[in-house]
A and B are shown apart, each in its own frame.
Chain A
Amino acid sequence: MLKASHKTGLVFFPAFDWAIGPTHPEREERLLYTRDQVFEEGILDVEGIREYRPELASVEDVQRVHFCVPDVDSAMTESHYISAGGAMTIGRAVLDGEIERGFALVRPPGHHAMRMVHGGRGFCNVNNEAIMIEALRRRYGIRRVAIVDTDCHHGDGTQDIYWHDPDTLFISIHQDGRTLYPGSGFPEEQGGPNALGTTINIPLPPNTSDAGYLEIVRDTVLPILEEFEPELIVNSAGQDNHFSDPLTNMNFTARGYAELTTLLKPHIAVLEGGYSIEGALPYVNMGIILAMAGLDYGQVIEPDLCPESIAQSPEVGDYVRRLGELTRRNWRERHDRMAALRANGQRLQRRSRRIHYDTSGISERQEETVRLCERCGGALRIESTADQGWPVLAVHIPPHACEDCRRTGRDWFEEGKRGRFGRVFLQDRPEDRFEIA
């Protein structure tokens, strides 16, 4: 009797009736051939592998993470509620001990969705992983979480949400932003002043193969994870590093993905991008599922794989080695850098940004202010103006906020109500409350 050595849960929600547009990469049949392969392999009959029906995320679940302008329902379609809910279903099953690991094969994806949501970015409206993690933190009281984003695009949305959170280690491995959307994710992006070092970006050069990718994971990512000691490891499992992906320039294979999953041992994987719907997704997803369950994936080989044509050049190999060294050094020196940053006695730190919502064609201006704090992630305020509509103010009080940061956050909210804003939002996480004025 075929048996999984790790109890593994799957949520499979291909959303066969939802698309951004008829020929858009994020369209109905994206997971069709993956479904065919998963069903044909009979993987759901393997003892120890269980399929779950996704739940629907609630408006409250979304508001725990995002500020949606004008409201949550405008940001979400039904498919988004199911996609985020699917990730939550796997998360709960893991923390309830029903399964050791789980994979939410859901669409639409979410890792480009930031804390402020005026529209869709990079095919994403809301962040499935963050909605899941914050629901799990609320329900199970877990604190330290690591997210390893292996999508080929920089996980700029997840990075934004956890930029100031010292309890969340966010590692994004992606194709260099100088050559690919969204153009961010460089090694010097390391997190806000209260969480310096817990954001890690590893931009790989185009044409990196299995060898380089797995070397980074083995020599750099795993030691950092071990030191961080997360209670939960989440993998944003994008599949667009594949050699056949039409949007990217990497040379990763299905067996490479399986190997990566074996090394990383994520508790929860959530599907992100990946648009080679015939040549890659069926095989990559099989590889990930088999690896999660501890089953043999030696024969998961793409029919059009030609190992010689995707062999890694020595130049790429050298570049990857140096990138690993740099990443490890940044990690070792993070405490010194944080101390240096605080030495000037500043109490608040500001940054201004322009954010483009390419999927919806909206442009936003943000003025972000964080309270520098040694005891928590710090109260956060975002003044946001989209090119259509009134400025809004969004205030975030992090889950384990200290008394001072809580007071600061509430003061900002009260002041904001009397100000020039069209809308004022408060995300009061210690109270698990969301207010709109």
Chain B
Amino acid sequence: MIIGLDVGGTHTDVVLLDPSGPVERTKVPTDETDLFRSILSGLDRILDGRDPGGIERIVLSTTLTTNAIVRDRVEPAGVLVCAGPGMDPELFRAGPHYHRVSGAMDHRGREIQPLDQDQIRTLAVRLGEQGIRHVAVVGKFSSRNPAHETRIAELIAPYVERVFMGHRTSGNLNFPRRIATAFLDASVYPIHRAFFEAVGAALREKGLTAPVHVMKADGGTMSLEASIESPGQTLLSGPAASIMGALPAACTDEDVVVLDIGGTTTDIAVLVGGVPLLQPLGIEIGPFKTLIRSLETRSIGIGGDSHVRVREGRLEIGPDRGGPPRALGGPEVTPTDAFVALGELESGDPALARAGIAEIGAALGLDERSAAQSIVEIACERILAAVDRMLARIDGQPVYTVHEMLEGYRVRPARILVLGGPAERFAPHLAAQARLPVSLVPDWGVANAIGAAMARTTCEVGLVADTERGLVSLSNGDAQWRCDRRYTREDALRQAGEALRALALASGADAEDMDMEVTEDLQFNIVNGFSTTGRNIRIGLQIKPGLIRGYRPSTSTPRSDPC
């Protein structure tokens, strides 16, 4: 059995699953000042009378780090950057303790300016004096050569508590995002560490020894131990969990659109052959654009509780929320009230809902029923239009080779899957308008907990070999090794595969369940004068997001309607 534990800012949800689905669920309040008690009381209720030995896996998701960043309630973190030619690194300032130091690498990872050790030590002393305990160290092109970052980390280690290095965040090139990502790691570290310790203590208290995984924004998980190295990876993992919850209902031989309809927003994601699409770079949170891998999702400000009003004779829905629906005594009319007025939903006081809809109708010159229908129709229309925009954007993504340009995969969804609180009400109306069949995900209300519980460990590595320099570098680690001129693309693929496997196992992956995929496979001649002097080989490998063994549909037939 699996425990899914979702620690939010106000509530902690706990579910217990077996291969057939959820068997137990509970909700307890979260007390951020005593996380240990909150988690323990949730576990108590779920495990009541059960043998902890029957639990084979525990998956956590948390919004604590996300909330802290969004509300800007984090301890100040220091940042040291080395930049080199290009844009002024001051433009990428993260926080008040941001310093540029000497040192630069070029695009092939060759040093073009050395570090100034005295300058770094002086800054480290100052950061220590200012009470800065966590520091991000980021270099331009550090994913090509991490030497400067590792040296700076060594130099400042005696003066601070923990250092986060940019090249560990991702193999992708994007210096400003690398700065933001390492800064977020350093910023949320104390909060995540408190969570990490409380969870560990609560699990020990209950005698739970199963492997513990933490949900990430890319729809995958990492081990609890790994999460302490990169706590920023827990940011915005909530929407990803819901999307993963739709996977059991999707066919693996078609493309599917997933709609996660909530109170104020609807998140849209796309599954291609049963696998969710990932964003090319990473999440955006508050003012930060990052390299934190995530699912490709679009959010539109329409949900069950969206504020409905008439402005200049036109119906407007969302993007704000004015509180609960009228039916529940809220101040503003919502789509939920429209469902109540249409007799499709029993919730609160139907008279209040109908009165609200009648107001809208009066402003539009419609009777109550027509007004309710218009609200639902327009909400669905807007959601479906957002789906079309997202698909167009995915198909319009730039490509960089003739082959990709001509053979480029076009997403052709065959179905829309709907989940989330108000999903059941919206589904038939969406079906009436959509060009595609619409189906409801089973367990549509708790899909997020199910998704988190069954998500598999994901990770990625990037390998760059420069045979002219005789050097191979691996991102997401500090490894670098020599190679000779005979080093080939096949060698690179093999070594990257071994590295990915090792990293995946360290992150808690099941050795028998790794769905590896090549994300980048390029090789170029390095030419000096008119002769080839070496090769530049770039390999990207990842483990795709997916469901763990034993918990995913064994055939292409989903558990809901037939495809």
Chain A positions within 8 Å of B, measured between CB atoms, are 1-2, 11-18, 22-23, 27-29, 32-33, 35-37, 39-43, 45, 51-54, 56, 77-79, 82, 246, 278, 282-283, 286, 290, 295-296, 298-303
Complex contact A299–B531 (CB within 8 A): no
Contact residues of B between 147 and 193, Cβ < 8 Å to A: 172-177
A301 to B88, CA, bound (A): 11
Given A23-B527, A41-B86; A53-B175 close (CB under 8 Å): no
A398 to B455, CA, bound (A): 64
- Chain B residues with CB under 8 A of A246: 529
Q: B518-532, CB under 8 A of A: which get 1 and which 0?
A: 000010111101111
- Chain B residues with CB under 8 A of A295: 87
- Chain A residues with CB under 8 A of B396: 52-53
- Chain A residues with CB under 8 A of B84: 303
Interface flag for B53 (CB, 8 Å): no
Contact residues of B between 89 and 106, Cβ < 8 Å to A: 91-92, 104, 106
Complex contact A82–B85 (CB within 8 A): no
Contact residues of B between 530 and 545, Cβ < 8 Å to A: 530-532, 536
Contact residues of B between 352 and 400, Cβ < 8 Å to A: 396-400
Given A40-B174, A40-B175, A299-B86; A15-B402 close (CB under 8 Å): yes
Interface flag for B289 (CB, 8 Å): yes
Complex contact B174–A16 (CB within 8 A): no
Complex contact A45–B87 (CB within 8 A): no
User: Considering only CB atoms, which chain B residue lies closest to A38 in the complex?
Assistant: B173
- Name the one of B88, B92, B524, B530 contacting A298, with C-beta atoms under 8 angstroms: B88
Complex contact B406–A40 (CB within 8 A): no
- Chain B residues with CB under 8 A of A302: 85
User: Considering only CB atoms, which chain B residue lies closest to A21 in the complex?
Assistant: B530
A33 to B144, CA, bound (A): 12
Complex contact A42–B405 (CB within 8 A): no
Complex contact B402–A17 (CB within 8 A): yes
Residue contacts A-B, CB under 8 angstroms, 27 given: A13-B405, A14-B401, A16-B522, A18-B401, A22-B525, A23-B527, A27-B527, A29-B524, A32-B536, A33-B108, A36-B173, A37-B86, A40-B86, A40-B107, A40-B173, A41-B87, A51-B398, A52-B396, A56-B405, A79-B402, A82-B402, A82-B405, A282-B107, A296-B88, A298-B88, A299-B87, A300-B85
Complex contact A29–B536 (CB within 8 A): yes
4 A-B pairs with least C-beta separation? A29-B524, A42-B176, A303-B112, A36-B107
Known contacts A35-B400, A40-B140; 8 further A-B pairs (Cβ under 8 A): A16-B401, A41-B87, A41-B176, A42-B92, A52-B396, A296-B88, A296-B91, A298-B88
A56 to B402, CA, bound (A): 11
Q: B61-97, CB under 8 A of A: which get 1 and which 0?
A: 0000000000000000000000111111001100000
Given A1-B287, A12-B398, A52-B398; A39-B173 close (CB under 8 Å): yes
* Shortest distance between the CB of A360 and any CB in chain B (Å): 19
Complex contact B173–A17 (CB within 8 A): no
Contact residues of B between 507 and 563, Cβ < 8 Å to A: 522, 524-527, 529-532, 536
* Shortest distance between the CB of B110 and any CB in chain A (Å): 9
Given A42-B177, A286-B86, A295-B87; A12-B400 close (CB under 8 Å): yes
A36 to B107, CA, bound (A): 6
- Chain B residues with CB under 8 A of A53: 396-399
A303 to B405, CA, bound (A): 34
Given A29-B524, A300-B86; A78-B405 close (CB under 8 Å): yes
- Chain B residues with CB under 8 A of A2: 91-92
User: Considering only CB atoms, which chain A residue lies closest to B525 in the complex?
Assistant: A22
Interface flag for B141 (CB, 8 Å): yes
* Shortest distance between the CB of B89 and any CB in chain A (Å): 8
- Chain A residues with CB under 8 A of B314: none
- Chain B residues with CB under 8 A of A22: 525, 532
- Chain A residues with CB under 8 A of B530: 23
Complex contact A45–B174 (CB within 8 A): yes
- Chain B residues with CB under 8 A of A37: 86, 107
Most chain A CB atoms below 10 A, which of B141, B400, B526: B400
Given A41-B175, A299-B86, A303-B84; A32-B91 close (CB under 8 Å): no
Complex contact B106–A303 (CB within 8 A): yes
* Shortest distance between the CB of A350 and any CB in chain B (Å): 41
Interface flag for B486 (CB, 8 Å): no
Complex contact B87–A43 (CB within 8 A): yes
- Chain A residues with CB under 8 A of B397: 53
Q: B339-361, CB under 8 A of A: which get 1 and which 0?
A: 00000000000000000000000
A299 to B85, CA, bound (A): 6
- Name the one of B88, B177, B406 contacting A299, with C-beta atoms under 8 angstroms: B88
A280 to B141, CA, bound (A): 17
Complex contact B176–A45 (CB within 8 A): yes
Complex contact B402–A303 (CB within 8 A): no
* Shortest distance between the CB of B328 and any CB in chain A (Å): 38
Complex contact A301–B527 (CB within 8 A): no
A236 to B11, CA, bound (A): 60
A28 to B532, CA, bound (A): 13
User: Considering only CB atoms, which chain A residue lies closest to B281 in the complex?
Assistant: A45
Interface flag for B311 (CB, 8 Å): no
Interface flag for B403 (CB, 8 Å): yes
Contact residues of B between 282 and 305, Cβ < 8 Å to A: 287, 289
User: Considering only CB atoms, which chain B residue lies closest to A17 in the complex?
Assistant: B401
Complex contact A18–B87 (CB within 8 A): no
- Name the one of A39, A78, A303 contacting B85, with C-beta atoms under 8 angstroms: A303
User: Considering only CB atoms, which chain B residue lies closest to A275 in the complex?
Assistant: B527
A52 to B106, CA, bound (A): 27
A225 to B531, CA, bound (A): 43
* Shortest distance between the CB of B389 and any CB in chain A (Å): 15
* Shortest distance between the CB of B291 and any CB in chain A (Å): 10
- Name the one of A11, A29, A290, A303 contacting B87, with C-beta atoms under 8 angstroms: A290
A14 to B289, CA, bound (A): 25
- Chain B residues with CB under 8 A of A299: 83, 85-88
A286 to B91, CA, bound (A): 15
